[in-house]
Amino acid sequence: MNLKKMIINSILLAIGAILHQISPPLLLGMKPDISLAMLFIIVILNKNYKVCLCAGIVAGLLAAATTTIPGGQYANVIDKFITVNVMFLFLKPLRDRVNNQINIALTTALGTIVSGSIFLTIILITVGLASGFNVMFVTVVLPAAVINTIVAVILFNIINVALKRGAIKQI
């Protein structure tokens, strides 16, 4: 793995963790996982599966370290691991055929829904959900998917400009 790629990915994951930490809670006190937006940007920018898998594991560990949900530590690591694999496979046939703007919007919207569904399922199985899966899905996961998609498109454009102006043309 290229050191420059790993440094850029680490910075993006750190920014995602900070944004996740400072984002306000939605309904029922749950916060959208904005670090997912950065994870999907990394998946779009990197064609290497190992790099994406490492980023997914690190994103899961960072989310686990900052979660406020009981049982969220295991759920975050598992859901990020599964989500990065699913989204890498989803994106594989689209990479060279579809514009990156569309790719980031599709990947983030679908990926947030996949991640949220996995997370809620694990929480439901391990500690239970006071409000039920459907209520949490509609009130937390779907709004988080919309927020993450908007944030990811904006951040993706900013990161693309920064990469084009910097010494590294493509990671």
* Token duo for residue 155: 């951040």
pLDDT at 158 over 80: yes
Structural contact between residues 58 and 129, judged by C-beta atoms closer than 8 angstroms: no
In this structure, the chain runs to a length of: 171
What confidence tier does 130 reach under pLDDT thresholds 50, 70, 90?
confident
The CATH number given to 3-165 is 1.10.1760.20
Segment 61-115, tens digit of pLDDT = 998 888 878 888 999 999 999 999 999 999 999 888 989 899 999 999 999 999 9
- pTM of this structure: 0.89
Structural contact between residues 143 and 26, judged by C-beta atoms closer than 8 angstroms: yes
Chain-centre distance for alpha carbon 156: 13
Please name which of 143, 144, 171 lies closest in space to residue 156, comparing C-alpha atoms.
Answer: 171
What confidence tier does 28 reach under pLDDT thresholds 50, 70, 90?
low
Please give the Cα distance from 23 to 19 (Å, whole number).
Answer: 6
